Amino acid sequence: MTIQSKPDLRPANPRFSSGPCAKRPGWSVEALKDAALGRSHRAKLGKSKLEQAVDLTREVLQVPASHRIGIVPASDTGAVEMALWSLLGARGVDMLAWESFGAGWITDVVKQLKLADVRRIEAPYGELPDLSTIDFDRDVVFTWNGTTSGVRVPNADFIPAARSGLTICDATSAAFAQRLDFEKLDVVTFSWQKSLGGEGAHGMLILSPRAVERLETYTPAWPLPKIFRLTKGGKLIEGIFRGETINTPSMLAVEDYLDALNWAKSIGGLDALIGRADANAAVIDRFVQSSAWLDHLAVDPATRSNTSVCLSIVDPQIAALDEAGQAAFAKGLAAMLDKEGVAYDIGHYRDAPPGLRIWCGATVETSDIEALMPWLDWAFAQQKASLQAAA
């Protein structure tokens, strides 16, 4: 095959990682100059910063006043685990999974919590399970956007307003890029390092009044470590949801999150963030539609993510390789783009089918996505030529 010349235009920012994600446009370390460093997070200054983070999260994400918002440790994983260990066990639970993180929550509930009444509702990578089979008289745990598969629920229409169980939603790669229906979601979790490009180690836990009621009326059969405890004496620890964190947060990371939230607010809030992510994903979709070697991993266009866009290599020669060969080809392609400095960290997730994963959240500039597309063709041509030469 003909070897293409390198494209002339390079992305100004080659950071397309799916987490930690790219910083907001124009970010520099100068943005953190007012961080409350060397100060207690319980002092007036530190606490006010944490309260601002909660308040701006509510404003930008359009969280109802009825819902509590807390900053918790251990990123999105910590927030999800707090919800699972504190809330589950009161009734049966339906666990949904169509990618690795949803599957991980199933493992925790079955093997660690050892709940007996668990229904697994699963689908392979690229597809959603049959949402009509969910029983909302039970608790339901699901990811809104499958970070490692690029498959998301299109909306919350499948969740009834009248339900007996709680809906627990891992929304870490959806928040600030997709519209979440908080009236249908009793628990929402996400982390700072995803759609707003913040730093790791801090998670957000959003609770509906129904979730709070469960916490105050139900005591799990297992012990809870301090880091998971959301109640004391049968009452919600309200301070957690006013910026009084369970453990010590990084005030540098808090300042960075505040900077990202203020940027989001300045460009038009949630609508603008969603618009930017949609525009980025649309560039890739147009490229895929005209490509002979690349396709979406997500089968149904209605369920395709606008953040963690996952792509499969469908060229017949590459698709004919065994899984190890396909994975090696995809990794080589991603490594070549990394070496050229045009795309960092766009290889498939380790448990996902071989391919590429390109983050399209709002902190990524559409012009950078556009500049990247010709480089995909160039790298593919290089990799395939090498494969043919070695044959």
Full pLDDT tens readout for the chain, 391 residues: 456 799 999 999 999 999 999 999 999 999 999 999 999 999 999 999 999 999 999 999 999 999 999 999 999 999 999 999 999 999 999 999 999 999 999 999 999 999 999 999 999 999 999 999 999 999 999 999 999 999 999 999 999 999 999 999 999 999 999 999 999 999 999 999 999 999 999 999 999 999 999 999 999 999 999 999 999 999 999 999 999 999 999 999 999 999 999 999 999 999 999 999 999 999 999 999 999 999 999 999 999 999 999 999 999 999 999 999 999 999 999 999 999 999 999 999 999 999 999 999 999 999 999 999 999 999 999 999 999 888 7
The SS3 of residue 338 is helix
Count of beta carbons in the 10 Å neighbourhood of residue 41: 20
Q: Where are the domains of the chain?
A: 29-265, 269-390
CATH number of 269-390: 3.90.1150.10
Cross-strand pairs, 120: 95
Tokens in use for 216?
């105050």
- Answering whether pTM is above 0.95, one says yes
H-run or E-run covering 208? none
Nearest-5° angle of CA 261, CA 262, CA 263?
90
Phi, psi dihedrals of residue 95, rounded to the nearest 5°? -105, 125
Tokens in use for 122?
């699963």
- Greatest Cα pair distance, the chain, in angstroms, is 72
Nearest-5° angle of CA 241, CA 71, CA 110?
105
CATH number of 29-265: 3.40.640.10
Q: What's 39's DSSP letter?
A: S
In the chain, the amino acid numbered 374 is P
How far apart are alpha carbons 148 and 223 in whole angstroms?
Answer: 32
